[in-house]
Chain A
Amino acid sequence: QKEVEQNSGPLSVPEGAIASLNCTYSDRGSQSFFWYRQYSGKSPELIMFIYSNGDKEDGRFTAQLNKASQYVSLLIRDSQPSDSATYLCAVNGPGGYNKLIFGAGTRLAVHP
């Protein structure tokens, strides 16, 4: 079992819709959870991080964390074509090293 799992997609949504991206992780000791966006050939850039159970909202983005189910998600409201990218889920494990383990990413395509 991979430490961080995501559906590879592609996830295709129409412009203006809600895109829902999901991620599960295997290490119950994980403390922090990140969503990165990566455009093709570019470096990842942070969208959101979350470390408490529940929801965290930032503009059109909402991260949701459920530690009991070892599940973290990202909702993108009012999706725009510019949101088309690969979304990487990353988990920061215990131990103090801040070692980030990434999922394989979900490719999102927002069509007009």
Chain B
Amino acid sequence: KNEVEQSPQNLTAQEGEFITINCSYSVGISALHWLQQHPGGGIVSLFMLSSGKKKHGRLIATINIQEKHSSLHITASHPRDSAVYICAVANTGNQFYFGTGTSLTVIP
């Protein structure tokens, strides 16, 4: 069983829809990261969370430490949001675990 589980694996949405991607983890962590990966392969860090909630523009990330769960929300989705979104956690042993990613396609 993977230390980090994401759902859904694939997601197609119409432009303007509200999108939620979920992440559950099974290890003790000191930080959780949401990453965005475009088809070329490069990865961009969107958020690093250790508690509560963070917001950047149309992106919102929340984490519930007790439930070992995080969500990434995209409001008013746009085709340029199409990418793979990866949840990753750093545990207290300084090891970094990745989910398998959620492939998002936003249709105009």
Bind each other? no
Hey, which bits of chain B sit against chain A, CB under 8 A?
none
Residues of A within 8 A of B (CB): none
